[in-house]
Amino acid sequence: MPLIQNKALQRTLGGSFLERWFVHAFSGVQLFVLGFHKDPVKMRMLRNVRGERRSLVTGAEQFLIHSIASSMRHMEGDIAEVGVYAGSTAKMICEAKGDRRFHICDTFEGLPEPTDEDGGVEKKGSFACDLDSIKRYLRNYPNLEYHVGFCPDSIRGKLDDTKFCFVHLDVDLYSSTKQCLEYFFPRMVPGGILVSHDYSVLQGVRQAFGEFTADRREQVIELPTTQCMLVKGA
């Protein structure tokens, strides 16, 4: 959500048609500019995905997610996404991942209850998505596993011994971000990358990263988009 950090504005626009229209228009400009110096095949795919599904991820954010997922093709470990919405970022990861196993995690009922750390911006139930619709949309890609429920509770005990090379978080809330960081990051392979959406615009997400990295040698890399990333050390 490429907006100033204005909570009243975020509460008004969050997930609305106006926000989606703004992100779509802004993304069109970004993809147009990128098209002058990036691979035309990749740019065509990114534009097609924007036309297929609703998305609150900008064109530049699309590009980064696809590029990082592509760079993990020869790394050990699985890929995971937590927070699917309409499936546009999952589609871009599928386009990049090859035959690597991809874990798709969501409540499919929208956001859980926000906490005080979230500043009253998000609402319970926002960004719900239909599981069957996502499965149909991604049906042509191999090695997909769907995990329904609050993550990481939905995968605890099932993936505890799994290693990950790339994790994409788009969960919006402090508690969800903090718990996903605590679960996934220790299980990432050296050189693995965790990327989160909304780091620069949602205070709960930013606070969760700050607390998680307070005593770690790995520190947050803030990107020129709303995203941030962590790279797992050796």
pLDDT for 188 beyond 90: yes
The tens digit of pLDDT for each residue in 209-226 reads 999 999 999 999 999 999
Lowest mean pLDDT among 5-14, 46-55, 129-138, 147-156: 5-14
The tens digit of pLDDT for each residue in 88-140 reads 999 999 999 999 999 999 999 999 999 999 998 888 999 999 999 999 999 99
Specify the pLDDT at position 6. Answer: 58
d(CA 106, CA 51): 23
* Strand, helix or coil for residue 24: helix
The tens digit of pLDDT for each residue in 129-183 reads 999 999 999 999 999 999 999 999 999 999 999 999 999 999 999 999 999 999 9
Q: What is the mean pLDDT of residues 182-200?
A: 98
Residues 6+ apart with CB under 8 A from 145: 101, 102, 103, 104
Specify the pLDDT at position 100. Answer: 95
pLDDT for 53 beyond 80: yes
What torsion, rounded to 10 degrees, do the Cα atoms 13, 18, 21, 22 define?
Answer: -60
Q: What is the mean pLDDT of residues 1-17?
A: 52
**Separation in Å, CA 163 to CA 15, 27, 120, 172:** 33, 33, 35, 24
pLDDT for 24 beyond 80: yes
Give residue limits of the domains in the chain: 67-231
Specify the pLDDT at position 146. Answer: 98
Specify the pLDDT at position 22. Answer: 85
Q: Which amino acid is at 97?
A: K
CATH class of the domain at 67-231 = alpha beta
d(CA 118, CA 148): 23
pLDDT band at 14 (very low <50, low <70, confident <90, very high): low
Q: Is 114 left (phi over 0), alpha (psi -120 to 50) or beta?
A: beta
